[in-house]
């Protein structure tokens, strides 16, 4: 899936949230997430941005609107959850999947509650060591509803460590997605070389939002999605075989080849 993360960039305002949802359902992304943090987070000034932010918590009524709009569009609705007490509420809305944020991979009370939902869960490893990831994988056993998410909570390209996607797949036997926090958007495209199960990126409607540094403006989302889907075609099957020289074929030969490919039911589906 290609997942657009609103996070807290709605700034706790319904009109901003509606704008995000209305714009995103018109794009080719597969899913949308919102972030719900622990109560103490909302009670303090958000200190990760020079401006600081207050009142980032959405009223519960907003989630009914979001659920209806997103599901009616055929896309999936996910929650990046930081408050275990909200899970029953989101289960009543029948959200499609959850994301475990920060270092909550070590919060087994939260993990147990998410196991009970039987929903797909993407688990961030942005602050986790190999030891912590191993403990988590051993804890969930053969539960295949869980995916790991490789990310680094840093804007710097030097910290992206994309090779970890390959290593995590080999070491833990789970699907591994990639969540981008780097300011250089090209990292999203480079991550395709590691065939992540999903790609997650933040979106913004203005510059002055909590995740502004690495978020993609709403007006650019379709461009980024189209690039990802197009670049993914370059990966191929990895199998070398006898092929034709497309660089020297005549227009007629090209036309006949394309007809044959269509007749064979050429599958251009990129993301399941």
Q: Please write the tens of the pLDDT for every residue from 220-238.
A: 999 999 999 999 999 988 8
Provide the pLDDT confidence category of residue 103 given band limits of 50, 70 and 90: confident
CA 115 – CA 111 distance, rounded (Å) = 6
Q: Name the DSSP class of 84.
A: G
Q: What's the mean pLDDT when you consider all of the chain? A: 90
pLDDT surpasses 50 at 216 = yes
- pLDDT at residue 195, as a whole number: 96
Measured N-to-C along each axis, helices 130-140 and 108-117 cross at an angle, to the nearest 10 degrees, of 40
Long-range contacts of 92-95 (CB under 8 A, 24+ apart): 93/63, 93/64, 93/67, 94/67, 95/67, 95/119
Average pLDDT over residues 51-64: 80
Instruction: Please tell me which residue, 193 or 243, carries the higher pLDDT value.
Output: 193
Position 49 scores a pLDDT of: 46
- Contact between 80 and 36 under an 8 Å Cβ cutoff? The reply is yes
Q: Is the Cβ–Cβ distance between 115 and 109 less than 8 Å? A: no
CA dihedral 66, 70, 76, 81 (to 10 degrees): -10
What does the pLDDT read at residue 32? 98
Tell me, yes or no, if the pTM score tops 0.95: no
- pLDDT value for 263: 65
The least confident of 86-90, 100-104, 105-109, 120-124 is 100-104
- The percent of residues above 70 in pLDDT, for the chain, comes to 91
118-165 pLDDT, tens digit per residue, is: 999 999 999 999 999 999 999 999 999 999 999 999 999 999 999 999
- pLDDT for 53 equals 64
What is the distance between the alpha carbons of residues 142 and 47, in angstroms, rounded to a whole number? 39
Check: CB of residue 267 under 8 Å from CB of residue 237. no
pLDDT recorded at residue 266: 46
């Amino acid at each position: 899936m290609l997942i657009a993360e609103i996070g807290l960039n709605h700034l706790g305002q319904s009109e901003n949230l509606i704008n995000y949802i209305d714009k995103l359902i018109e794009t080719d992304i597969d899913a949308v997430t919102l972030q719900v943090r622990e109560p103490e987070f909302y009670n303090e000034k958000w200190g990760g941005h020079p401006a600081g932010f207050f009142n980032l918590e959405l009223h519960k009524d907003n989630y009914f609107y979001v659920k209806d709009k997103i599901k009616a569009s055929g896309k999936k609705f996910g929650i990046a959850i930081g408050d275990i007490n909200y899970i029953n509420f989101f289960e009543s809305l029948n959200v499609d999947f959850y994301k475990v944020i920060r270092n909550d991979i070590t919060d087994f009370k939260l993990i147990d509650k998410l196991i009970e939902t039987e929903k797909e869960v993407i688990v961030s490893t942005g602050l986790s060591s190999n030891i912590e990831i191993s403990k988590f994988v051993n804890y969930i056993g053969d539960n295949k509803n869980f995916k790991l998410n490789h990310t680094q909570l840093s804007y710097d390209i030097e910290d992206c460590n994309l090779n970890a996607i390959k290593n995590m797949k080999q070491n833990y036997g789970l699907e591994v997605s990639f969540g981008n926090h780097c300011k250089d958007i090209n990292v999203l495209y480079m991550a395709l070389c590691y065939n992540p199960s999903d790609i997650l990126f933040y979106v913004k409607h203005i510059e002055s939002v909590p995740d502004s540094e690495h978020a993609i403006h709403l007006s650019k989302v379709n461009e980024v999605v189209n690039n990802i889907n197009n670049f993914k075609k370059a990966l191929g099957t990895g199998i070398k075989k006898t092929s034709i020289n497309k660089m020297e074929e005549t227009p007629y030969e090209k036309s006949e080849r394309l007809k044959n490919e269509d007749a064979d039911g050429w599958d251009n589906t990129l993301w399941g």
